[in-house]
């Protein structure tokens, strides 16, 4: 298999959750470093893929200023990030026939690597291998490279399973994991996949920006 090129990869920013730990609302629009977290995520992912979509549920007009497609889950009930990935696969098949893979990133993770997609693409072994990012001994299931060819399998699984855990579905398929180094800055260590789930996390992210860990 030839590694997927950026022109074959659709970027999907996952913002379909309920943001309960943030007190509700649109977590992606919470500000860090003077602008919404979503802006940071877009700036990091946009240059790595052919185009971007946002997976979000609820009122899509909250994101009108961004000017790219807002794609809601095709599976009802807020079933987690796999529903967003499936929605991106379906969107790609319907609108971008040249797309072979979805590159996903979380909307609340403003420090992820600028070579994320390149590294994940290098690890794709064949047209059905799922590639996840890892760091510090942990897998990050919302940061991955997902073959569009698996859309029907994922759809069927989501409609029949009693669990929506990402890794449970992934175990049905070939998996590769790319480990990314932690960011060392003085006496501090930053996981590049740090995500801001709570107001305390927002404060920590502000501190990282103040220390120029971007």
Q: What does the pLDDT read at residue 19?
A: 45
Q: What pLDDT score was predicted for residue 22?
A: 39
Q: What is the pLDDT of residue 18?
A: 46
Task: Please report the pLDDT score of residue 21 as a whole number.
Answer: 41
pLDDT at 25: 54
What domains sit in the chain, N to C, each tagged with a CATH number? 6-210 (3.90.550.10)
Q: 104 with 144: CB under 8 angstroms?
A: yes
The pLDDT of residue 128: 94
CA distance 31 to 28: 8
pLDDT given for residue 184 in this prediction: 82
pLDDT at 121: 97
pLDDT along the chain (214 residues), means of 10: 89 74 63 91 97 91 90 86 96 96 96 96 93 97 97 96 91 96 81 90 82 58
Residues 6+ apart with CB under 8 A from 176: 123, 124, 125, 129, 130, 131, 132
Q: What is the pLDDT of residue 1?
A: 60
| Distances in whole angstroms, Cα of residue 162 to Cα of each of 24, 43, 77, 157, 169 | 25, 36, 13, 9, 11
**Helix (H/G/I), strand (E/B), else coil: 6:** helix
């Amino acid at each position: 298999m030839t590694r997927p090129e950026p022109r074959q990869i659709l970027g999907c920013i996952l913002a379909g959750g309920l943001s309960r730990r943030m007190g509700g609302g649109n977590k992606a629009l919470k500000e860090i470093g003077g602008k919404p977290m979503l802006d940071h995520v877009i700036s990091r992912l946009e240059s790595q893929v052919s185009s971007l979509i946002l997976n979000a549920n609820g009122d899509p007009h909250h994101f009108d200023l961004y000017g790219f497609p807002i794609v809601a889950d095709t599976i009802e009930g807020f079933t987690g990030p796999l529903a967003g990935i499936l929605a991106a696969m379906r969107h790609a098949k319907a609108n971008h026939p040249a797309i072979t893979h979805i590159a996903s990133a979380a909307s609340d993770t403003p420090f992820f690597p600028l070579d994320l997609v390149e590294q994940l693409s290098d690890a794709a072994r064949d047209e059905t291998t799922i590639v996840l990012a890892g760091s510090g001994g942990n897998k990050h299931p919302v940061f991955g490279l997902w073959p569009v060819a698996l859309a029907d399998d994922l759809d069927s699984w989501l409609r029949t399973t009693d669990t929506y855990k990402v890794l449970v579905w992934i175990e049905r398929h070939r998996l590769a994991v790319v480990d990314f180094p932690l960011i060392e800055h003085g006496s501090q260590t930053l996981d590049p996949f740090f995500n801001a789930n709570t107001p305390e996390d927002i404060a920590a992210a502000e501190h990282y920006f103040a220390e120029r860990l971007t």
